Structure 1
Amino acid sequence: MPSAASGSPTHTSLLRTEAERRARLLTVRDTTVELDLTEPASFTSTTTISFDCTEPGESTFVDFKGVELWSATLNGRLVDLAGWRRGRLPLSGLESQNTLVISGLMAYSSDGEGLHRHVDPADKQTYLYAMSFLDAGPRWFACFDQPDLKSPYTFEVRAPEDWTVLGNGPSRRISPGRWRIRSPHPLSTYFVTLVAGPYLSVHDTYVDGEGEPIRLGLHVRASLGEHLEAEAADMFAVTKECFDYYHRTFGIRYPFGDYHQAFVPDFNAGAMENPGCVTFRDTFVFRARATEAERASRAGVIAHEMAHQWFGDLVTMRWWDDLWLNESFAEYMAHRCCTEVTRYPLWTEFGIVRKSWGSAADQSPSTHPVAGNGSVDAESALQDFDGISYAKGAALLKQLVAFVSDEVFLSGLRHYFETHAFANAELADLLGAWTDAGAVGLDEWAAQWLRTSGMDTILVERAAEQGPASAAGEVAVVRRVPPAGSGADRTHAIEVAGFDPYGAEQGRAAIRLGTSPETIHLPRSALLVPDAGDDTWAKIRFGEDAWALLPSVLSGRPPAATRVVVYNAIRDAVRDAELDPATALDVVCSSIAGEPADVVVAAMLRFARESLAGRYAPAAARAARLASVHATARAVLLAAGAGSDRQLVGFRATIASSEDLGELNAWLAGADLPPGIRLDPELIWAVTERIAMLGGDPDIIDRVLTADRSASAQVHAARARAGRPDPAAKEAAWQILTRPSELSAYEVYATAEGFFLPWQQSVTEPYVRRYFAEIGETATFRTGWALGRASMLTFPIDASAQALGLAETALSRPDLAAPIRRSIADGTDELRRALTARSRWPA
């Protein structure tokens, strides 16, 4: 073996100033990566980078985060390996044209970043995939790791002969066990990928309007093969419909050759938009019965990642501050695309699921503007990769379309794509494209909407004095209240609607609400709802007296968008301690059984269980409130047709809220099941987890695991073990959470989800102090996404008031890693909100 240098176990995150200097200095002409994946413990990586330098004689650095650095040559001369520190190798004496060759030993990951290795417990087969996003690319190949140093890539891969190897371009087997992949266009480092293993594949072809074909592929682990066969037709149909829509809407054909969608294990995100080879979490290949709403959610992710082939892949942001140029647009276009051309209308899902996620982020201490966050390095940019970048940005784009018109919006996008294809761009470039298309006032719009944080509140009040026509109509005043200290002066294009006590709409008025209140005239109504079309980004209030009207109004089934606005207002008001959680629970339990949308029913029953009967409820009231949730879930179950999606939604919620071990054990044995319910693997594990968490038979986990040896089962078992109300079980789980572990990232996350349960405080109370004392040390063996997610899921969100002091002390530590700091800051905010509600309404 060649002599080797060993790198530091920690790595330096790229500064924006460093990226700007390196971009001015370098142009990457070509990159070739040679990988040997034939050994199970580690792999070798040799990278050849051809690049130009604008200032010969200058120096720079290349990113390499391997285990050992074996050799490096620059223009044929050896580079001093002793300079390799913290994932960087200095390069000096650059010439106008340069060739860099770096070779080393790399480690497979188990955290979903870099080149991830998964051994499927079902058949012991090995599967690999690469996730290069935000600092992870150098964990498997040397590169200048920043979005604006694009390069064409060639991969030469040696792998076991029975494997399939896929990547960002057409993949060709050149001999047994040897593959070559060449990307047809330059790529940013963060979306370079590789998928390798004995994957099972299904293929199809999409033919565009000009008769040109695009080869399609779906790929999964062999153990999920039968499930892929069952789901492939739906996924291919959505893929083709999205291609039609985006080709027509953007005016530029998909440019990256084949279009593979690989469903891979242990994937942290929902999916990743790697050009030509999108990676998804493999839970989207349903191994159990799925509802139409769940298939709709999957369709949205497929459409989202395909939109990225234009937003992000064709035109890429220059720096991570403009991440929203990727995510907000993909989020908006995916929901629009699915609603317009697939069988899956998604705006209700956007309102009740996605906007709720973004709303919580925008009201937390870590809130930030959509754009222009001033991220000084890549790691800090990762902390802004949240519901604001996705859902808030998408909601603002809905507002922008109302502001500039759909024609101007789409025309500007086409101009933007044509001008910056295969290159990088900034927010100013996009605003300029819209301005050229006819938009006016965009700089002010961007300043108020994109560069400020927090949510306005929109409230409606009936005028104190009504005129002589009050018998037929009424006058109301709509006001906008900006978030405290923001100074944001936003204009909202919304509709205000009035409803009678039984949900019948009486009238609607379209307004543009800015600094000054707007006066509207509507027929006399029992309830006035601002933003009745769910068109803007704001908290909605309709007066304290309105809460009691909501059950009867909702029972009349006003439009879906209005119902979403009302339910979101309930959630926001509870979080802000403006609405008694007991009152909110009464509203939800009185109205949700009649809600037509399954995605709304599932979301609100979960909110009722986890928040209204959980963290926001006084301890003494929780049992009774959970019983109310359970009764509501059972009512949904019993009212639904046998075998219907609604029945499945109700049964899942009934399991999750049950405290009847006898009934749960009977169900697990297949007895007394509601007609139309058939236990599948996921339902079996749902019942098993609930039994474990209620203190049932401790051996039940292993018995179920014996019958189900899948990777999914391992994750369920980890959650069930952590959830057992037993000191020994909690200590074993704690070791997994706070010490290096051989478990997959998913098993660690599941362990965190099962640990701090509201009804187990007597067992978990000692670990509250330990969390704040020990969680910081997890940064010594976890990084990136895994570090932040594990610390966030472990946070003792239901702790007592004493935890606030511990949290504040932890946040004062200067050495706290950024992902952990954000997890503690946001968790502390949620804990404080819950404590405020409990103290205000103690019974």
Structure 2
Amino acid sequence: MSALNRAEASERFHCLRVQRVSVELDLRESATFLSTTTIEFVAAEPGAPTFVEFRPEQLLRAELNGEDLDPDLLVAGRLPFTPTVGENTLTLSGEMAYSNDGEGLHRHVDPADDNAYLYAMSFLDAGPRWFACFDQPDLKAPYAMRVSTPRDWTVLGNGVFTEISPGEWEMAETPPLASYFVTIVAGPYASTWDEHDGIRLGLHARASLAAELGTEADDILRVTKQGLDAFHEIFGERYAFGDYHQAFVPDFNAGAMENPGCVTFRDAFLFRGQATRAERAARAGTIVHELAHQWFGDMVTMRWWNDLWLNESFAEYLAHEVCAEHTDYALWVDFGLNRKDWGAIADQGPTTHPIAGDGAHDTADALAQFDGISYAKGAGVLKQLVVTIGWDVFRAGLRDYIAEHRFGNAQFADLLAALERAGAEDLEAWAAAWLQSAGMDLLVAEEPEGAPADEAAGAQIRRTPGGEPADRTHTIAVAALAADGAELGRERVEVSERTRVALPDGFVLPDVADETWARVRPSRPVEDWPPVSAIADPLARVVLWNSIRDQMRSVELDPEIALQTLEMELPEEQEDLIARAVLDWSQTTLAGPYSRPDERRRRLCRIADTAGEILARSQPGTDLQLSAWRALMGCTDDTDALTNWLAGVGLPQGRELDAELRWRTVTRLATLTGDRAVIDEAFDRDRSAAGRVHRARAMASLPDLEAKQEAFAALMEPGELSAYELYATAEGFFLPHQGELTEAFVQRFFAEIDATAAFRSGWALGQVVLRAFPACSNSRATLDLAEELLAADRLSPGVRAPLTEATDLLRRAVESVEKYGGKHPDPAPVRRA
């Protein structure tokens, strides 16, 4: 399908006004489905040609004002036509294909009961895969829908559906919607119902997950109600889309999608096994994020994709703020450890871009820039804005913005104007520095070479611009810490170039409360830090762990020192979320791309020893115990322990081996031993959709050539695997300790990956490129292959963006190994007394 560019969208916006869209679907057949769309619109200019987007397998009918249009004119998903001035009616019918990649109208057959479950994903340009539309965010219109289904199905959507006769459903007309968040959910879904403040709440999942839905419903509904109350107060505007459904659907690519009135989530949020509080907190963040979109994005929608941040950055920031202030889940530690690190990687890479006005020329560009900058960096910058102007001014600006553009579209300037009317000052300069320039500043705590006689000696904070030079002022807290980690004092300062801090002598940590968007360097090298785990403020510990990760990526820190710090500090860490994040990172980096192939096994054993020590120290039944056990399952080479756990022997006190833990154990054991039988046995016990995904990962991880050949064919050739089976296969292929086995496939990866764009697109294409990239083949030869492919003019845009990101990370790892890899042998583990 041709990517819609901004000029085309602007021209069509000035020619058309859409009055109403009606969609009819016949979903009673399993091979294909029938879709008929009627669009009522007004054309303003005589004789102005335009087009509608539609991607049927076969176009059955196309009419404009009762006159047939030539079906042969439908090319690359576009049907051109010339409307008459005034009111027009366009009708298109087609035989459509279900998808298996999580976009368009996705059809999943649950192996648990052989029932089919459908849901529609219309983002970013996937809507025309199941209905006809003018597919751009600023041509909003009310939608109505009629759907024919098997008689035992439930149908949900953006408006209230009523079953008018068995298997015949009708949806009440919605408020104006952009095409990219029109949806339908249909199938024999299990449901839980509730009501809050006059709003009907529905939770839905496949019948095979009914028990998990029942277990998790109370927590999900409680967070939803708390979020609704918070947003009613923040925006001064009630939720406006009728019922509020949350459907947990299979094979979903993103975390969730904010379809008005009918949000779709990954069904992995209905935990099949034991879950930690941190995992439920992350789910709460996603729930509140999508709820924020009902105002920021759905009620008020950006005009074009270059203002994607008006949706995502605000939903991201508000989700963390609302969870922290109005629910039982304080999420800023999670933001700093996980979301912020994601955004920091994107902002320091070759594909970095401004938060606002990011220059999305067309929808393909927009998809490539749908990244950690649009989400995490935008949220981090908004957090800094609120620190600067205050919450009351910020909230007043949001209320003004929502009221001014209710059910319409807005752009960057509209939001700035609303915030300035609320009392914010100098926002144009602030926006130019923070939102319209790329890059991440560096804040360094340092001792001055010589303080002026009239100034007290002491540390100062220096700002070095990152990326594009910009005059940014950071409002931050700076702390001084004693040798034992105790906080000696804290001061709030504004840093634009250099700022002196009046703090007691000690270890100086900038941005101790993690309030700005910047890289941080404390006043001393990592080897001379106070004990990280002894620092009382968890956000301060987050800032320090992020500094370690950033120093490693910047080739400023020997990974061996990072590993020694982990060994010394992590057994003392009591925050489950921090311990889990650092252990996960260590396995994928310190024992992977940032180590020589010959030292990876020893490093992984050291990480396993650390996880085992945390497990031994943890109280039975705690989240820390569960997280440590999970980490140990992923890195131990003790096959006897793994075998015993599968037999129920030697389990940690108070724990049992649920389906998810069993698969972790099986995958690690099969990776070490090559035993296919253990995979077959696990799959016999768990033939669910999740079991299929785990089986795909385990099979790709087997240390034998036949398994690798099968997995590589699945990645590089069209096939029947679901999206998540494909992703799991990619994750299991290039493993750190299987370099000799997979080296022959490295050159083939770069020779064949671009051809996959012929049969994959969108999210699925990019995810396979990222997850299958041979990051652990950390040699100059591999880097040369990646750069040669990037230099090719023929490279598909959907491959180029993720390949560029992965190549940048590989380059950093190669440079690190070249700089530090031969400095010293692996030392004995270090422990703090």
**Secondary structure, aligned partner of 1:372:** coil
Separation in 2 of the partners of 1:555 and 1:127?
47
Matched, 1:836 2:815: yes
Instruction: State the one-letter code of the partner of 1:394.
Output: A
Q: 1:474 Cα deviation (Å)? A: 5.0
**Secondary structure, aligned partner of 1:522:** coil
Q: 1:162 Cα deviation (Å)? A: 0.1
1:381-396 to 2 correspondences below 5 Å: 381-396=366-381
Deviations 1:449-490 (A, max 9, x none): 1111111110011133479999xx851111000125x12111
Deviations 1:423-447 (A, max 9, x none): 0000000001111111111111111
Q: 1:650 Cα deviation (Å)? A: 0.6
Separation in 1 of the partners of 2:787 and 2:601?
31
Matched, 1:480 2:463: yes
Q: Which residue number in structure 2 is paired with residue 8 of structure 1?
A: none
Q: 1:713 Cα deviation (Å)? A: 0.5
Separation in 2 of the partners of 1:257 and 1:35?
22
**Secondary structure, aligned partner of 1:748:** helix
Deviations 1:603-654 (A, max 9, x none): 1011111111221012232222212111110011111111111110010011
Deviations 1:215-236 (A, max 9, x none): 0000000000011111100100
Q: Which residue number in structure 2 is paired with residue 501 of structure 1?
A: 483
Q: Contact conserved, 1:500 with 1:553, CA < 8 A, in 2?
A: no
Matched, 1:281 2:261: no
Separation in 2 of the partners of 1:73 and 1:464?
78
Q: Contact conserved, 1:448 with 1:488, CA < 8 A, in 2?
A: yes
Deviations 1:285-312 (A, max 9, x none): 0111100000000000000000000000
Q: Contact conserved, 2:320 with 2:331, CA < 8 A, in 1?
A: yes
Deviations 1:172-228 (A, max 9, x none): 101000001124301000000000000000000011xxxxx1000000000000111
Separation in 2 of the partners of 1:621 and 1:134?
43
Matched, 1:229 2:208: no
Instruction: State the one-letter code of the partner of 1:407.
Output: D
Separation in 2 of the partners of 1:139 and 1:301?
26
1:64-83 to 2 correspondences below 5 Å: 64-83=54-73
CA 1:105–1:639 in structure 2 vs 1: closer, same or farther (change >3 Å)? same
1:142-153 to 2 correspondences below 5 Å: 142-153=132-143
Separation in 2 of the partners of 1:300 and 1:487?
33
Q: Which residue number in structure 2 is paired with residue 165 of structure 1?
A: 155
Separation in 1 of the partners of 2:535 and 2:430?
35
Q: Which residue number in structure 2 is paired with residue 96 of structure 1?
A: 86
Instruction: State the one-letter code of the partner of 2:700.
Output: A
Q: 1:56 Cα deviation (Å)? A: 2.6
Matched, 1:404 2:380: no
Q: Contact conserved, 1:474 with 1:523, CA < 8 A, in 2?
A: no
Separation in 1 of the partners of 2:707 and 2:292?
45
**189, 196, 199: which one aligns with 1:199:** 189
Q: Contact conserved, 2:43 with 2:83, CA < 8 A, in 1?
A: no
1:499-648 to 2 correspondences below 5 Å: 499-514=481-496, 516-525=497-506, 527-543=507-523, 545-550=524-529, 552-648=530-626
Instruction: State the one-letter code of the partner of 1:475.
Output: G
Separation in 1 of the partners of 2:552 and 2:334?
21
State the aligned residue count. Answer: 821
Separation in 1 of the partners of 2:484 and 2:610?
21
Q: Contact conserved, 2:597 with 2:739, CA < 8 A, in 1?
A: no
Separation in 2 of the partners of 1:148 and 1:509?
46
Q: Which residue number in structure 1 is paired with residue 246 of structure 2?
A: 261
Q: Which runs of 5+ in 1 are unaligned?
A: 1-10, 208-212
Deviations 1:659-679 (A, max 9, x none): 111211111111111211200
Q: Which residue number in structure 1 is paired with residue 227 of structure 2?
A: 242
Q: Contact conserved, 1:701 with 1:721, CA < 8 A, in 2?
A: yes
1:338-377 to 2 correspondences below 5 Å: 338-377=323-362
**Secondary structure, aligned partner of 1:512:** strand
**Secondary structure, aligned partner of 1:615:** coil
Q: Which residue number in structure 2 is paired with residue 6 of structure 1?
A: none
Separation in 1 of the partners of 2:383 and 2:451?
34
Q: Which residue number in structure 1 is paired with residue 828 of structure 2?
A: none
Matched, 1:455 2:434: no
Percent identity reads: 51
Q: 1:589 Cα deviation (Å)? A: 1.7
Separation in 1 of the partners of 2:143 and 2:408?
15
Moved over 4 A (4+): 465-470
Q: Contact conserved, 1:753 with 1:793, CA < 8 A, in 2?
A: yes
**Secondary structure, aligned partner of 1:305:** helix
Instruction: State the one-letter code of the partner of 1:529.
Output: L
Separation in 1 of the partners of 2:697 and 2:173?
41
Instruction: State the one-letter code of the partner of 1:161.
Output: R
**Secondary structure, aligned partner of 1:540:** strand
Q: Contact conserved, 2:480 with 2:509, CA < 8 A, in 1?
A: yes
Q: Contact conserved, 1:45 with 1:105, CA < 8 A, in 2?
A: yes
Q: Contact conserved, 2:387 with 2:515, CA < 8 A, in 1?
A: no
Instruction: State the one-letter code of the partner of 2:59.
Output: L
Q: Contact conserved, 1:499 with 1:553, CA < 8 A, in 2?
A: no
Instruction: State the one-letter code of the partner of 1:479.
Output: R
Separation in 1 of the partners of 2:547 and 2:320?
22
CA 1:483–1:546 in structure 2 vs 1: closer, same or farther (change >3 Å)? same
Q: Which runs of 5+ in 2 are unaligned?
A: 823-833
Q: Contact conserved, 1:502 with 1:555, CA < 8 A, in 2?
A: no
TM score, norm. by length of structure 1: 0.96
**733, 745, 763: which one aligns with 1:785:** 763
Matched, 1:817 2:796: yes
Instruction: State the one-letter code of the partner of 1:796.
Output: P
**640, 646, 651: which one aligns with 1:673:** 651
Q: Contact conserved, 2:533 with 2:541, CA < 8 A, in 1?
A: no
Q: Which residue number in structure 2 is paired with residue 124 of structure 1?
A: 114
Separation in 2 of the partners of 1:327 and 1:562?
26
Q: Which residue number in structure 2 is paired with residue 210 of structure 1?
A: none
Instruction: State the one-letter code of the partner of 1:206.
Output: H
Q: Which residue number in structure 2 is paired with residue 729 of structure 1?
A: 707
**Secondary structure, aligned partner of 2:502:** strand
